[in-house]
Amino acid sequence: MALTTDEEDGGRVTGWIRPSEILAQLRGADLAKALSPSIRAQVVRRDDVGEVLVKIIQIFIVSFVALLYVLAPRPTDIGMLSSPTPYFLSAYLILTFAGLLWALHPPVPAFAIYASIALDFILLYALIWSFHKQYGQPPSFVLKSPTLLYVFLFIAIRTLRFEVRFVVAAGAMAAIGWMAILAWVILFDPEHAIITRNYVTYLTSNTVLLGAEIDKILLITMVTGVLALSLTLAKRLLISSISETQAAGNLSRFFDPAVASDIRDQDGDTAPGDGELRNATILFVDLRNFTTIAASRPPAAVIGALASVQAALVPIIHRHGGTIDKFMGDGIMVTFGAVRPAETHAADALRCAVAVLDGFAAFAGQREDSWFASGGLGVAAVAGPVIAGLVGVEGRLEFTVIGSAVNLCAKLEKHNKMIGSQGITTASTLALAQEQGFAPEPGLEGRVADIPGIAAAVEIVVLRRAAAPGGAGQPG
């Protein structure tokens, strides 16, 4: 049966769960082979942190047991230090602290972890074994010890590492250890190890009920199996989560963060043709004379210089809420309100335009080379309805905006060269920005201009006049 999506159920995938899905969840080896080195390194790092947590919990356990031992009543003829228990606890505490120091400086080899598991159960069963001597009882007395419950804690802490083999090793050690204690009671103390089939007799005397001991071993085995299965699924989820996080990070390197976030948050798969009509403002930013200057410079120097100016301008754009649609050689196309609706898109765009011009002037003033002059940047902003969506084909998609505002903005930016300005917008965009809270600089120049490629005359406003017409940074 094919899986379906039930929109009324929160978009959950519904339908019969196939055996192949269960097997795929349990297969860890195939997934591990497909992991990139960086993801494997992150999984290993989480295992290293888990080992530190294991050691901290072990220290807490042994400290708690030691406290109980000190507070617990004991026969008057038996001194606290005459029992082997405090020596076991002290040795375990010292070794666990040493293990913690090792875990804080990873990697910890597998043999050390197996040794730690063995130490856990040697301590636990040694404590249980010592009870019959501490309380002057026959060996069968130890089979009634509630201290056995610590077995499950020692198995459970191994799930803090995403290694199923260590959980299985802990469970196997626990089961084998209890079988060894049972064999010791039956084989080495036949005089007192009376086997009974009466449950009441078993509880009220030092007799042995084989069924109860087998139940304990089976329960240890089953709990180990369930924890191993849960850990297998959890590890797959961890790896999937790390992979998705890394993929999202890589996505943000090729898309603007706002676009990448929208793509990640979509309920379904993205497809070409997905789009929405939005009221937005377009901002074009373009370097002056960069192509001419770059023609005589080494390619690496050209890319380096372009990267440096982008590093200076992009943070300014993001601070004003702009979404970078694309880098176009030495130009940048920015949108406001296209990816996500914004009530102040026009005001944000004009504030950004002014801030970009100021930021570029400061950047160019700090450069000691001849790549950039302080007036060598042009910007234009136009507000209007645009269609924002995905174009391309399956396997190669691109987010973009389409509309007359985009076309007009591109041509207005080029018009800067013709009139010797650095920033242009339309009168309607400026009016909308003022309604949205933008405070323009005093004395802005307005005019009606014929823009090449635009059929009707456009009423424009010069946001920033070039400092010295014909001078540095002006079109050549």
DSSP string, 209-227: -HHHHHHHHHHHHHHHHHH
* Residue 412 CA to its chain's centroid (Å): 42
Q: What's the pTM value of the predicted model, to 2 decimals?
A: 0.54
CATH number at residue 333: 3.30.70.1230
Q: What is the pLDDT of residue 199?
A: 82
With 0-12 / 13-18 / 19 or more C-beta atoms within 10 angstroms meaning exposed / middle / buried, residue 202 is buried
> Domain boundary at 250, 277, 310, which?
250
The reply to whether 471 falls in a domain is: no
Q: Can you name the residues that pair with 138 across neighbouring β-strands?
A: none
Helices 257-265 & 210-254 angle (0-180, nearest 10): 140
CA-only gyration radius of the chain, Å: 36
Decide if 312 is inside a domain.
Answer: yes
Residues 92 and 47 in one domain: yes
Q: Which of 250, 275, 293 is the C-terminal boundary of a domain?
A: 250
Residue 377 burial by Cβ neighbours in a 10 Å radius (0-12, 13-18, 19+): buried
Looking at residue 327, what is its pLDDT? 86
Total tally of structural domains belonging to the chain: 2
Question: Given this model, what pLDDT does residue 16 score?
Answer: 64
Do residues 214 and 222 lie in contact, with contact meaning Cβ atoms separated by under 8 Å? no
Paired tokens of 37: 């080195």
Mean pLDDT, consecutive 10-residue segments, the chain of 476 residues? 42 56 52 60 78 88 81 60 72 85 86 88 84 76 85 90 88 93 82 77 82 92 92 78 66 59 56 75 89 78 87 93 87 90 93 94 78 79 89 70 91 89 93 93 84 88 70 36
DSSP letters along 175-216, please?
HHHHHHHHHHHHHH-TTT--B---HHHHHHSS-B-HHHHHHH
Q: Are residues 298 and 446 in the same domain?
A: yes
**What's the pLDDT score for residue 363?**
87
3-class secondary structure, 230:
helix
Residues 240 and 267 in one domain: no
| pLDDT score, position 469 | 42
Q: Pairing relation of β-strands 331-336 and 421-426?
A: unpaired
Verify that 212 and 299 share a domain, yes or no: no
Residue 215, exposed/middle/buried by CB under 10 A (0-12, 13-18, 19+)?
Answer: exposed
In the 8-state DSSP scheme, what is residue 208? B
Using the CB atoms, write b or e for 64-76: b if 16+ within 10 Å: ebbeebeeeeeee
Q: Confirm if 265 and 257 have CB atoms less than 8 A apart.
A: no
Q: Which among 225, 250, 275 is the end of a domain?
A: 250
Q: Is residue 16 in some structural domain?
A: no
Rounded distance, CA 393 to CA 272, Å? 6
pLDDT of the residue at 231: 85
Domain assignment present for 169: yes
Q: What are phi and psi of 15, to 5 degrees?
A: 120, 175
Whether residues 236 and 282 share a domain: the answer is no
Domain that holds residue 128: 21-250
Contact (Cβ atoms closer than 8 angstroms) between residue 337 and residue 345: yes
Residue with tokens 């807490």: 60
User: Residue 331's beta-bridge partner residues?
Assistant: 286, 328
Distance CA(393)–CA(39), nearest Å, equals: 29
Q: Cα(285)–Cα(292) distance, rounded to whole angstroms?
A: 17
Q: Based on the fold, state whether residues 196 and 323 are members of the same structural domain.
A: no
Partners of 391 in the β-ladder: 398
Residues 245 and 264 both lie in one domain: no
In a domain, 6, yes or no: no
For residue 74, what pLDDT is reported? Answer: 60
